Structure formats: C-alpha cells, structure tokens
Amino acid sequence: MNRILLLLLSSSATLLVFGLWIPIKAVVAQELLALAWAESQARQTETRPWPWADTWPVARMALPELDRSMIVLEGTHGESLAFGPGRVLGGLPGEGPVIIAGHRDTHFRQLNELAPGSGIRLQGRDGQWQDYQVEASRVVDSRREQIDTQRLSANTLLLVTCYPFESLDAGGPLRYVVTARRQNPAPGNRLEQIDTVAGL
C-alpha cells in the first residue's frame, strides 16, 4: 500500500513539474533577458541572454493597465517564444509598423483584457518610450486572411497570439490580434516597403 501511495505521489509530482515547466521557464528567462536588455542599452549592441541563444532583446514592452512588463525578443524562430514575445516585423519602436507575437498561455495570456483605449508602451535600446493606444482587437483565421504589412500605417503596433485562450490544442489556425496606434508620432515618419507576412 505504501509503495502504491509513493508511486502515485511521485507520478503526480512529475506531472506537476512538466505542467509548470513552460511557465517557470518563461518567468526565469525574463529575468535573464532583463539583464541582457540592460547590457544592450548600456553598450548599444545586440546582447544575447545566454551564449547559445538564437535571439536577443530588441525592446521592453509595458502593459500598464495589466501591471505587466516584458522583454521582446528578435524573431519568433526556434524556441524563442518560450522565453518571451518575439518581434515578427518592424524596426525599433517608433520606426515603422511593429508586429509582436507571443504565446497565449504565458506572456500574452492576458491580451484579451486589453480594451480600446488601453495603453501599451515600447522602449527602444536608446531608452526612449513610445506610447500606443489600443484601437481594436479581433479574431483572424490565418487560413483565410493574412496581415498585409504594406497597408499598415507606420504608427501601427499589432500584438498577435493564438486563439482561443483556454484551448489545450496548440497550432490552430485562429489568431487574436490587438491593433494599437502610436500616440504623438514624430513628423515625417515614413512607411517602409515590407513584404507581406503570411500565416499570422
């Protein structure tokens, strides 16, 4: 009887550890990324958070109404999204449209709580903050609709994650897209010619 109880307890503990692994990794990684971000700002260079990383911090994003702040990584390749949201497209904050993607069960799990009028802040490597205001959010079927970046205003920020939020199935076709507009943009900011991003 004691062996069965011990087996059940150890199996439960193992399942719990595996279930918490991705959220724990996301939290610990953000601490290491914050250090790399500070070094990137101090040196004004790309700083990888650990030697084998295939990405690096490109911005800090704050969601003041949700009391959340996170480091944004370059790209969404490899395992980078397990560590933080990734920049799919765009220059530095304030330099053309920006698209950032993140997992619905870690960094972007509260994205559906952003309502029209909510604020989003992006900090570039130079330390300057750009303020954005949410205009709308919607669900997009990536099989039928793509984000045409050539039609985006230079002052647009898109936050993208999988949908629905409570689903256990990964890799579905639906995306939740939050559209925000930069406030008080600098005069003369031009939209660069950028290829269409497919499958978002």
Residue 66 lies in a domain: yes
Q: What is the pLDDT, as a whole number, of residue 32? A: 84
What is the CATH classification number for the domain harbouring 119? 2.40.260.10
> pLDDT digits over 97-128, tens only?
999 999 888 889 899 999 999 999 999 988 99
**Residue 145: inside a domain:** yes
Q: What is the pLDDT of residues 165-181, one digit of tens each?
A: 887 777 789 999 999 99
In a domain? residue 2: no
Structure tokens at 59: 């911005």
- d(C-alpha 170, C-alpha 176), whole Å: 14
Is residue 57 in some structural domain?
yes
In a domain, 43, yes or no: yes
189 located within any domain: no
Burial status of residue 112 (CB atoms within 10 A of its CB: 0-12, 13-18, 19 or more): middle
pLDDT attached to residue 184: 79
Tell me how many domains the chain contains: 1
pLDDT band at 132 (very low <50, low <70, confident <90, very high): very high
- The verdict on residue 193 lying in a domain is no
pLDDT on residue 149: 80
Range of the domain at 53: 26-182
- Residue 153 forms part of a structural domain: yes
Q: Could you tell me the pTM of the whole model?
A: 0.78
The beta strand positions in the chain, using DSSP E, are 57-63, 68-74, 86-89, 98-101, 119-123, 129-141, 156-162, 174-182
